[in-house]
Chain A
Amino acid sequence: MTVELEDRDRALLGGGAGDGAALAMRLVVRMAEVARASQLRDVTRAHIDSCLYHGQVGLDFAERLLAGGGSVAVPSTLNVSSLDLLHPELVLLDAETRGRAKRLMAAYVAMGCRPTWTCAPYQLSDRPSLGEHVAWAESNAIVFANSVLGARTNRYGDFIDLCAAVTGRVPDHGLHTDEGRRATVRFRLHGVSDRLLDQDLLYPVLGHLLGRRAGTEVAAIDGLPPTTSEDRLKALGAAAASSGSVALFHAIGITPEAPTWDAVAGLGAREEAVTLPDLRAARGELSHVPDGAEIGAVSVGTPHASEAELRRLAELVAQARLRVPFYVNTGRAQLAAIGGIAGELADAGVTVVTDTCTYITPVLGEVTGPVMTDSGKWAWYAPSNLGVDVALGSLEDCVRSAAAGVVTRDEAIWAG
């Protein structure tokens, strides 16, 4: 299939805006062929994940575009990096990797990106609106943009995020189209108590289950309370985009495109029940550590803690004496927004990590014993990335456990 190009696209391909933009445009066109898109479309902004250092290839690519005169054509935010520039001593990388990671970050800033360094760009004040076409990378940001904001982005990954930012163009297909946003599976909560529905912990667990069952499909969830908060939807989406490739879910009666099931129902969509035993099993997949086990550390804030989550954490730790290292990841904008609360967190023994995250770069150091988290995403990735066992619990459970030194959870919420 040939991709229909406009004169401005051909000008970029021909090197009219430099070699960097030409390579970016070539890759956008190749990806349109991959996706069988017949045309390209404009995007208004980009969120770039390629600034996280995963090896020489990332640096080679960014510096190749930069050397070729590449700069972003649309407002572009940056995802987490491998370093915490505000608290550099927290990251235990060797000097060589640190230097390369810094060079990578500098290359993106030099191309005109905003140094936001957060995986939760939807927590910044200027965020995409309903129906806006954007090119976002970072799986949790993608699922949040599509599901909660109703903006339209495909699952952009490393490299293509920068190409979209430099060209302002993406293949027009998939989640950019009305058809691509229809649900092919409807999950109905069955026999899940109101009490459980009001627990933060339900949401990462439900998200994990959703990812396992939906894979790459667009799913709808029926039965969540209409007042479900953005932070809970964030936790749900992040977990679903980790255990599966979920890029869009509709929560019926909650998310903007799904006032009703009919509004999002795809032709021939199937229906599946989600029961309490299903949810218990999903939790068991993420959390292998029993109550009473000694823990080595706690890490919360994956995706980056919102202002509300930071404030809640400060309230909880004010009344506790933490006996194990306790980390919270957040964006620098959120940290600035809480003002003096940051000092309260530090006084209570909480280490605030910005610009990066405890599961993608070494912060925890040598941990003796399992690590506790409230994040389904952290629980999914940390065993591989860090080689630690994980106990999943609510934020309250995490603080209680950190004070006790052992896993201490409210198990009653999972009762029938």
Chain B
Amino acid sequence: MDGRFLVEGPVNGTALVLAEPLSFWGGLDPVTGEIVEANHPQRGEVVTDRILVMPSGRGSSSSATVLAESIRLGTGPAGIVLGEADEIVAIGALVAEALYGVTTAVFVASRDGYAAIRHGDHLAFAP
């Protein structure tokens, strides 16, 4: 996969490709791992143990905490692939790693690489 890691770690799992960016805060229930954002086309999908693929981050700066909390609770994604770098997503994963020793890779794919990912693909790559 062409791109770079914002947070290094293995990416291994089934791609959940989001048609629109998700704000974790207000959009992800960290207790269940479910997408709850009212206007999101994939409301009801569960991110747990999947590779969350989305074009960018979105919305509130509280999203980092919600991502880190879902990682702490074990409901977070197995890895995250973005179309463009997002610092709020990266810091959420980095803090969860620093506090709990759980690594959730965050990868920014190249334009072509991102476009080639299909919903349901099995992704497996590492730094």
Listed in ascending order, the chain A residues whose CB lies under 8 Å from chain B are 23, 26-27, 30-31, 34-35, 49-50, 52, 54-58, 60-61, 64, 137-139, 142, 154-161, 215-216, 241-245, 285, 380-381, 383-385
Contacts and interface: CB of A to CB of B under 8 A. Distances in A.
B95 A57 contact: yes
B72 A55 contact: yes
A239 B66 CA distance: 21
Interface stretch (B10-18, B23-31, B116-124): B23-31
A71 B59 CA distance: 28
Interface of B: 6, 21, 23, 25-27, 30, 36-39, 56-66, 68-69, 71-73, 84-85, 87-88, 90-92, 94-96, 98-99
A31 B72 contact: no
Nearest to B36: A384
A215 B56 contact: yes
A190 B90 CA distance: 39
Contacts of A383: 38-39
- Majority secondary structure of chain A interface residues (helix, strand, loop or mixed): helix
Contacts of A23: 98
Nearest to B99: A60
A159 B6 CA distance: 16
Q: Most chain-B CB neighbours within 10 Å: which of A35, A54, A157, A385?
A: A157
A371 to B, nearest CB: 13
A55 B26 contact: no
29 contacts: A23-B98, A27-B95, A27-B98, A30-B90, A31-B90, A31-B94, A34-B87, A34-B90, A35-B87, A49-B61, A54-B62, A55-B72, A56-B72, A57-B69, A57-B72, A57-B95, A137-B61, A139-B59, A155-B88, A157-B92, A158-B63, A158-B88, A159-B95, A215-B56, A242-B23, A245-B58, A383-B38, A383-B39, A385-B26
Contacts of A381: 26, 60
A30 B98 CA distance: 12
Given A158-B61, A384-B26, 11 more contacts: A26-B98, A31-B94, A52-B62, A58-B65, A61-B99, A157-B63, A159-B91, A160-B87, A216-B56, A245-B59, A384-B36
A26 B97 CA distance: 13
A352 B21 CA distance: 34
A381 B88 CA distance: 18
A161 B99 CA distance: 17
A50 B56 CA distance: 22
5 interchain residue pairs of minimum CB distance:
A55-B69, A383-B38, A157-B88, A157-B61, A157-B64
A155 B98 CA distance: 21
A50 B69 CA distance: 13
B37 A34 contact: no
Contacts of B21: 215, 245
A34 B59 contact: no
A156 B95 CA distance: 14
Contact of A34 (B6, B61, B69): B6
A322 B85 CA distance: 48
Contacts of A154: 87
Contact of A155 (B65, B68, B73, B87): B87
A159 B64 contact: yes
Contacts of B57: 216, 245
